[in-house]
Amino acid sequence: MNRKQLFLSYAAGHPMTFEDFCIFASRLEFAGVEFIPDLSPNLPEELTGDRRKKLVQIGQELGLSYTVHNIFYDINHTSLVPRVREFALTLTEDVLKFASDIGAVGFVIHPGYRFAAWRSKQEQIVMFERVVQQVYPALTSLSASYHVPIFMENGNYFLSAKSGKRNPLHIGIEAAELVDLVETSNPVMGICFDVGKAYFSMNDYSIDELIEYLSHIYPYVREIHLNAFDGYLEAVPPVFDWLSNNKYEGLIIFECGKSAIEPLKEITNSYFD
């Protein structure tokens, strides 16, 4: 793999401005940054036209590429409540426009979610499936309009787990269901594989299950997210062994706090040319 694939997420940057964070990431020799415009001073409405132009200029001067992560905790674009869904799509389009304005190479969304234990009646499941069939094609249409590819991440609360299965931390989504969701769109979305979300959703934190999950979704994977939670770093080398053996060429994003950057670098350095 190549160091040009390595990006640093703004998860390591708050409360910096995006402009200052670019300089911070460049000094640490990352090839790009992932912006998450969900906190001031970098909310979508605070990212004025002048600031967007400045980010483009900084990227050119420092040789940085950009990717953007959608706002996610506060929205649900597959809500069964139409006004909630419309708001989520409107806000997502605002962030997608920001991604387009700065020339981002990717745009990550979380799947819509429903709390399975409270939305388990058959008529609710049918309604949810109908919404999914409407929303994801709409999102890929927006993606085409703004010329930024969308990648769906593997995690957000109970998600759309049809089985009602309770996964640890409420963040799991089964691999087959994730593939079903991205294939709903046309063209098919890519997948952002968050290693931590998958690992902590495995039974007994099984490395074998983690690799099986990755292999199932791999044809669609365009971006990898890494963190450094306690008990998690042991999962990184097996994942990187597998990625290296399969000649992975997508983005690899350190989505972590400042203190986790060096531990992740130490573990992953040997995998890059």
> pLDDT tens for residues 217-258?
999 999 999 987 767 788 899 999 999 999 999 999 999 889
Q: Does this model's pTM top 0.75?
A: yes
Query: What's 46's domain CATH number?
Result: 3.20.20.150
Question: In sequence order, which residues have a C-beta less than 8 Å from that of residue 34 and are 6 or more positions away?
Answer: 7, 8, 9, 10, 66, 67, 68, 69, 108, 253, 255
Radius of gyration of the chain (CA): 18
Domain count of the fold of the chain: 1
Structure tokens that stand for 266 in this block? 């130490």
Distances (CA, A) of 114 to 26, 76, 84, 94: 39, 9, 13, 23
Average pLDDT over residues 22-36: 97
What is the tens place of the pLDDT at every residue in 38-82?
999 999 999 999 999 999 999 999 999 999 999 987 788 888 899
Nearest Cα neighbor of 95 from 10, 3, 185 is 10
Residue 145, domain extent: 3-271
CB 193 within 8 A of CB 242: no
Q: Provide the mean pLDDT of the chain.
A: 89
End-to-end CA distance of the chain: 6
